[in-house]
Structure 1
Amino acid sequence: MPNPPEESLTTRGLAARVGYSVQQVRDLERLGVIPPAVRAANGYRQFGASHLTALRVYRAMAAALGPVPARALVPGLVAGTVAEAAERIDVLHAELAAERARVKEALRALDVALAEADEVFTAEDALSIGELAQALGVRPSALRHWEREGLVRPVRTPTTAASRTYGATAITEARIVAALRAGGYGIPAISVLIERVRARSGPAEVRDVLAARLADLTRRSVALLAAAGHVHDLLVDRTDAAPAD
């Protein structure tokens, strides 16, 4: 029994299926997010099931990653091989897992920094720039950069302006900055939070910021699982269409 003819959709009909505008569909076709449309004799675009599947993949990926990363990713899924598409999806899951691990480590580092800030601190406990960099797992140049940005305030030895000593406050600040940098935060955002920490109003807020980042990663992971169903449809269609060996 012959297969039923594939449904033909106009640009407007395809847009309506996924809740996009006609212009959005045209833009996504131009960017390679969906395959090129077939042109009818009258010049109008005609779309089919493969276009609808690709558009659903993009919509789901945009929910998981954001529109800009999705526009960069989906053309490769549409035009590449099945093996390439599967590898890219594996990388996405690994990237989310790695970022989640960094944020969790940032939360642990923040808790340690705040707990140790209350301990009795003597001059003998002060650290040099090399010692603190080693303790934080960063380069000394990172500590110098944070100092220039006003994030960390070491004490300068009077005998030489090049010598820095990190006391309790500076060590705590450096640990918080390292925690936030590990969580993916930029210098401007960290500067605001450090000022709040110095005003005794910020540690809980810093923790809330990192917790919110962790919650967003969970949301993205779940959204990526939802997208996987549409990606599966895309790859199965391509596998079915591939010639047998």
Structure 2
Amino acid sequence: MTRNLQSDVRLRPVDLAREHGLSTQAVRNYEEAGILPPAARTPTGYRTYTPRHARALRAFVSLIPGHGHQTAAAIMRALHDGAEADAFGLIDESHAQLLDDRRTLRAVERALRDLDPARPEPPVPPSGPSETFIGPLARKLRVRPATLRAWERAGLVDPRRDPQTGYRVYDEPAVRDAELTHQLRRGGYLLEQIAPLIAQVRAAGGLGPLEAALADWHDGLSARGRAMLAGAAALQAYLGERP
């Protein structure tokens, strides 16, 4: 009975928009994009919405901080197209990416512990040769050689040149810098943000800036995790009231 009474409530675009600080045009755009279910029309052509549309918009807005605007829109469109499995698959992919980012963060932290000159344990010796070339290193990091050359131009990696062939030769410090750059790039850092961190490591003047960056990274991942929980709750509230 409650659901039937609520379905009789008619809301204007501005009623939906006001809750989220949106424009009425944004609400109409979301409906046209399939993010909201289709709205009924008055005899004069005006859109009328219901509490169901309000819950759909609330779910969409709640999904954005954890999944991003594009994925949140794709989730809502899949639900309205009757493809729930696709919608849940998109949610699973976001959670998998978050888990992968956490693993990357742990890998960066391990790398920094190995780079810390005050670390009491000796660093683990490399399992392969102490020097390598651009091709093998690119394959190891799963990047293109052009990416390594771009990092070199940015001052993040400093291979020496073979005096006879002119080939780039990456010794252990250069490989270390390339691996650390790769890990930080995966964490979302820009090249200009990474440059002072690499310089700090090279100067062995302490890991304060790196530790601060990692703390921010931790906070960002935790915020994404909480946002995903909030988005899931709003989405469940919407799914539980669908006809």
Mapped contact 2:36–2:57 kept (Cα < 8 A): yes
Find the partner of 1:155 among 139, 151, 160. 160
Q: Where do 1:1-245 residues align within 5 Å?
A: 3-4=4-5, 6-115=8-117, 126-129=130-133, 133=137, 137-138=141-142, 141=145, 143-162=148-167, 164-167=169-172, 169-198=173-202, 203-238=207-242, 241=243
Equivalent position SS for 1:35: coil
Q: Deviations over 1:18-75 (max 9, x none)?
A: 4433233123223322122211112211001221111011110123234454334432
Distance 1:106 1:53, change over 3 A: same
Residues 117 and 164 (structure 1), Cα distance of their counterparts in 2 relative to 1, 3 Å cut: farther
Question: In 2, distance between residues paired with 1:138 and 1:90?
Answer: 24
1:192 and 1:74 map into 2 onto residues whose CA distance is 41
Structure 1's 115 and 178: CA in aligned 2 closer, same or farther, altered over 3 A?
A: farther
Q: Encode CA deviations 1:200-231: one digit per residue, 9 max, x unaligned.
A: 66742233223312211111111111111221
Judged with a 3 Å threshold, the aligned counterparts in structure 2 of structure 1 residues 177 and 136 are, in CA distance, closer, same or farther, namely farther
Structure 2: how far apart are the matches of 1:135 and 1:45?
Answer: 56
Amino acid at match of 1:133: L
> How many residue pairs align between the two structures?
234
Distance 1:138 1:71, change over 3 A: closer
Q: Distance in 2 between matches of 1:188 and 1:38?
A: 51
Identity rate of aligned residues, in percent? 32
Q: 1:235 to 1:103 in 2, by over 3 A?
A: same
The one-letter code matched in structure 1 to 2:165 is T
Normalising by the residue count of structure 1, what TM-score does the alignment of the two structures yield? 0.77
Query: Structure 2, unaligned stretches of length 5 or more?
Result: 124-128
Q: What is the RMSD of the two structures over their aligned residues, measured on CA atoms?
A: 3.5
Post-superposition Cα deviations, 1:170-226, rounded to whole Å, max 9, x if no partner, equal 344234213313423343432353345456667422332233122111111111111
Supply the AA of the counterpart residue of 2:85. A
Q: 1:163 to 1:173 in 2, by over 3 A?
A: closer
Distance 1:87 1:159 in 2: 54
CA contact (8 A) 1:9 1:48 kept: yes
Per mean C-alpha deviation after superposition, the further-off stretch among 45-54 and 226-235 is: 226-235
Residue in 1 that maps onto 2:126: none
On the 8 A contact 2:141/2:179 being kept in 1, the answer is: no
Asked if the contact 1:40–1:46 (Cα under 8 Å) also holds between the matched residues in 2, the reply is yes
1:193 and 1:202 in contact (8 A); partners too: no
Identify unmatched segments of 5+ residues in structure 1: none
Q: 1:58-105 CA distances to partner (integer Å, 9 max, x unpaired)?
A: 110123234454334432233332333222222222221111111221
Structure 1 residue 115: Cα displacement: 4.0
Q: Is the 8 A contact 1:109 1:179 kept in 2?
A: no
Deviates more, 1:221-230 or 1:143-152: 143-152
